[in-house]
Amino acid sequence: MSDLEKGVIPADPIDESQSPQTDSGDAAPKPTRQRRTRKKNESGENSTKSSAPPEEAAPPKAIRPKARARERIVTIDAERSVETEADKAKSDQCGCLRDLAMIDLLASMKNGKFLTDTIHGVERPAPNAMPRAVLNHGIYRIVIPANELTELPEDTGKDNPNEVYNNALIRRLGSEIDYIVKGIDPEEEVAVASRLDAMAIKRKQFFFGTDKDGNNLLYEGINAEARVCSVFGGGILVEVFGVETYIPVKELAWHRMQTAIDSFIPGQKILVRITKLDRTDRDNIQLEVSARLATTNPYEAAMKRYDVYNLYVGTVSVIDTSGVFVSLDGGIDCLCSLPRRDIPSKGSRATVRILGKDLEANQIWGHIVHISAPVQF
């Protein structure tokens, strides 16, 4: 059977006479370089690209914004101590703060437990109504009527009592107080309280209580902490374990002080020394204290540095009818007579000549010989 009958296409016979000859005889023929042809597209134009129709461009993918990184906080200590809003929300997911505040309020109302907070507002339901102090304990609003926060002074005269109460409460804004809860409204998240009840219990504990040896906890000569309730130009009103007493400006510091407003604020805690205590009347304890005596007397050591008739430099601290007080190094004031012509301004640098000193009276005096700052005429 022939190849054609078998369906096989025979290869063309090779014409040896047309095959290229080389000097080497039987060397293989050189590979032929294929010619690059251009295909025509359906329109008949030459193109080197594929004849397949181009795919439609896919719509651009939406760019997903990067997740905001957790806000970084630079801390003072190794661990962060300041609570953020996220921390507060996390800690109160189940109303924990609400529950803790309610536990405190119930313990105060049922067991007489003291709660301590700061007066941050004064309200009056009506123009002539009795004012009330407002505090916050957790999420609860604490309301204390004025007659449950303080007692009216005896010398109010013909003044409207509610106006006297209002002025007293305004001066106490920012002060820290103890109170006992008298009633709670859970739905409105409001509680009514009394400061006077807490003060009465504190007086009993500290002014009539004793230590394990039977000695009084408070007595004349002992130092105690006091809370500043109100500040005036001539002194401050403080509370010492349930008893309020007034400290005049001369008993606030060893150095000369013109006004207490520049040095004290309501809510501040200071150290005082009890100078007089009369508890004969349990309902009316008489108490006098001094903030000056609770600190070290700077004159005992500082006055040894200054010799009579010598010159020293200081800063003008107070100017009044007594003269010019020049503050010297060591925390003492030198009283100088008012100059006849030029009166120095407060804060001026002044050179004084010491004329005398009294160690027992804690006094030193002299006269100004030079002022290094502009003077006031």
Tell me, what's the pLDDT at 289? 97
Tell me, what's the pLDDT at 49? 47
Whether 303 and 325 have beta carbons less than 8 Å apart is answered as no
Tell me, what's the pLDDT at 35? 53
Which amino acid is present at 87?
Answer: D
Q: With b meaning 16 or more CB within 10 Å and e meaning fewer, what string describes 188-224?
A: eeebbbbbebbbeebbeebbeeeeeeeeeebeeeeee
Tell me, what's the pLDDT at 93? 54
C-alpha distances in Å from residue 180, one per residue of 104, 133, 143, 170, 237: 10, 14, 11, 21, 22
Q: Tokens for 30?
A: 């050189």
Residue the block writes with tokens 């001026």 = 348
Whether 328 and 334 have beta carbons less than 8 Å apart is answered as yes
Whether 219 and 274 have beta carbons less than 8 Å apart is answered as yes
Q: At CA 226, angle to CA 252 and CA 104, rounded to 5? A: 155
Rounded distance between C-alpha atoms, residue 48 and residue 56, angstroms: 20
pLDDT digits (tens, 9 = 90+) for 53-95: 555 556 666 555 554 555 778 888 778 888 887 776 666 554 5
pLDDT digits (tens, 9 = 90+) for 237-272: 999 999 999 999 999 998 888 899 989 999 999 999
Which amino acid is present at 224?
Answer: A
Which residues of the chain are under the pLDDT cut of 70?
A: 1-70, 88-97, 373-377
> Is the overall model pTM greater than 0.75, yes or no?
no
Residues recorded for the chain: 377
φ and ψ at residue 367, rounded to 5 degrees? -140, 155
Which domains are present in the chain? 96-201 (2.40.50.140), 208-290 (2.40.50.140), 299-376 (2.40.50.140)
Tell me, what's the pLDDT at 91? 60
Rounded distance between C-alpha atoms, residue 250 and residue 259, angstroms: 10
Tell me, what's the pLDDT at 344? 85
Q: Is the dihedral of CA 18, 24, 26, 27 positive or negative?
A: negative
Tell me, what's the pLDDT at 310? 94
